[in-house]
Structure 1
């Protein structure tokens, strides 16, 4: 089972459990006598102050006839009232009555208590992950329903230079991924950590730079250009990694693009990188930026005997100027 298939399985199972635990399988919701659609309608009216039935149809994603029947029952129950719009008397605006405001107050108190009780069973890091993860997932579901692009990548930002915690975080991403996918062990992880520690002390040199992909102030991707360790005006591309949840997002291409722009500005004669033959997705990305396989051999520099590869990107502008 691929990681994507496992994510789908986990999310579906969690969604079913949430639906049951939050009471959506019941005929009423949030300690009221109303079905989920009516509770959601009143919450949206409260959030907007007032709104039209057509707006509720769009927000709730229900059929117009179903929303009309549900709203009529809420008006009849004294929870909502209809008033002509000040801008267009033909347009009816829905708003909460005094009774409706009290009902929504009770709904919010009940829901807040349920959420708070659940959060209290989680550590602070998990609370943050749940809060932001659920918000992102809900927005993605809405974008799918509305067939809009959504805001998948807008929470990412790319920064340069040393950031506190980056050595440990980049090492963690490397260690976790390569242990799971390729059975690399502590030798590899220790080598990554030692190399990063040495490189971080050299970031004050203009020929060295690191790019970090950040999401919610957490490092989720990295790539570095070491302009010193190879000599001969050659750059070394190092520590390219993405967090599991960011693969396939286009973030890797953005990181490599920034690194290659830097190499061209520094006018390195070439860029070298070392990898191995199992990373086919990364290889396609490298090749799209002009890297070519220049050497291949059986080696053990990462702690296991594998088919190692060296890729080279020649700076044609540099060589043509010689």
Structure 2
């Protein structure tokens, strides 16, 4: 049975949608301060986010006909933004990757888009910022059709233990997210890489474990429990990250559930994690899982001065 939607609400949503399209610049021939139209900008973003994509998968992500994507890809290749190469698994499949120029263009797109968001949200209180995020995500999933709100979560598998490419992928997700969220640079990324490499050498210990979330063979989230570096029967929750493309679909909650269940089964007296002020969505998730803020201070252990925070969860 169809549920009636008030005509006034329909008009208001449509009007707001048109205003968003205009404000974001989609009516212009070029988008995000690039020489490319909107479809090409989105293609660069998706190729960069996934690392390598066949044209057929890019067409699915962009909701475009394969013929349209083929023409667009040829233009991006000619412009020096994208390269085509044979897949190592199947030489008949061409993979699309960004060139050095394409990566610079992607960085400019990310900076431009993030700047738009910052300018829009800067004058709003925290509750309204969260309302904007939640509303946009919910509406986007509703537009995608029935089941879209849970489909992403169901299509993702959670596994533990080393996976080929895991170290590089976790570092990549951290580097990209925290560059946007906090302006962290090479010092932070190098620190993540060094710490993760050191941990993985002993990740098979009975008191340590790493989990990854995988979608179609690609790692889109991770978390680790280091049961050895803090001592005193205290576990260290580390490298908790979810890729932009699946954030908001419950993947972070699933990863945390796995990590905390492991800690409880192993018998740790407490779990600690270090983060910094401003990551409100993550904080709500931590607190929903029993973590409490126990200390705050100004520090720069990640290469930039932030208000660092220590959260702790004691064993139930």
Shared fold per TM-score greater than 0.5: yes
Q: Deviations over 1:136-179 (max 9, x none)?
A: xxxx9998479622433232111111111111111111111111
C-alpha separation in 1, matches of 2:191 and 2:154? 33
Match status 1:216 vs 2:221: no
Pair 115,237 (structure 1): closer, same or farther in 2 beyond 3 Å: closer
Matching of residues 148-227 of structure 1 within 5 Å: 148-150=146-148, 151-227=151-227
Native 8 Å contact 2:26 2:38 kept in 1 = no
In structure 2, the residue corresponding to 1:240 is in which secondary structure? strand
User: Gapped runs of 5+ residues in structure 2?
Assistant: 1-19, 32-36, 40-64, 85-93, 98-137
Distance 1:118 1:179, change over 3 A: closer
The equivalent residue for 2:258 is 258
Aligned CA RMSD, in angstroms, stands at 3.1
Q: Is residue 310 of structure 2 the alignment partner of residue 310 of structure 1?
A: yes
Structure label with greater radius of gyration: 1
The whole-number CA distance in structure 1 between the counterparts of 2:73 and 2:293 is: 51
Separation (CA, whole Å) in 2 of partners of 1:237 and 1:216? 26
Other structure's SS at 1:258 match? helix
TM-score (structure 2 length as normaliser): 0.58
Q: In the TM superposition, what are the counterparts of 1:101-120 in structure 2 within 5 Å? A: none
Report the secondary structure of 1:152's partner residue.
helix
Distance 1:234 1:114 in 2: 55
CA deviation profile, 1:83-142 (whole Å, cap 9, x unmatched)? xxxxxxxxxxxxxxxxxxxxxxxxxxxx87666555565634448xxxxxxxxxxxx999
Go from structure 1 to structure 2 and tell me whether the alpha carbon gap of 1:200 and 1:144 turns closer, same or farther (over 3 Å shift).
same
- Could you tell me which residue of structure 2 aligns to residue 71 of structure 1? none
Match of 1:229 in 2: 229
Query: Compared with structure 1, are the counterparts of its residues 155 and 119 closer, same or farther at alpha carbon in structure 2 (3 Å cutoff)?
Result: farther
1:253 aligned counterpart, secondary structure:
helix
Alignment of 1:136-147 (within 5 A): 144=142
Count of aligned pairs between the two proteins: 206
CA separation of 1:10 and 1:282: change in aligned 2, threshold 3 A: farther
Structure 1: 4+ residue segments shifted above 4 A:
8-14, 111-122, 140-147
SS in 2 for 1:162: coil
Change (3 A) 1:145 1:272: closer
Match runs of 1:1-322 below 5 Å: 123=84, 124-126=94-96, 144=142, 148-150=146-148, 151-316=151-316
**Counterparts of 1:146 and 1:182 in 2: how far apart (Å)?**
31
SS of residue paired to 2:301: coil
Question: CA separation in 1, counterparts of 2:186 and 2:285?
Answer: 27
* Aligned mates of 1:287, 1:191 — CA distance in 2: 26
Distance 1:252 1:289 in 2: 11
Cα 1:313–1:258 shift into 2, 3 Å: same
Partner deviation per Cα, 1:255-296 (whole Å, 9 max, x = no partner): 101101111110100000000111111011000000001111
SS in structure 1 at match of 2:211: strand
Worse overlay, 251-260 or 145-154: 145-154
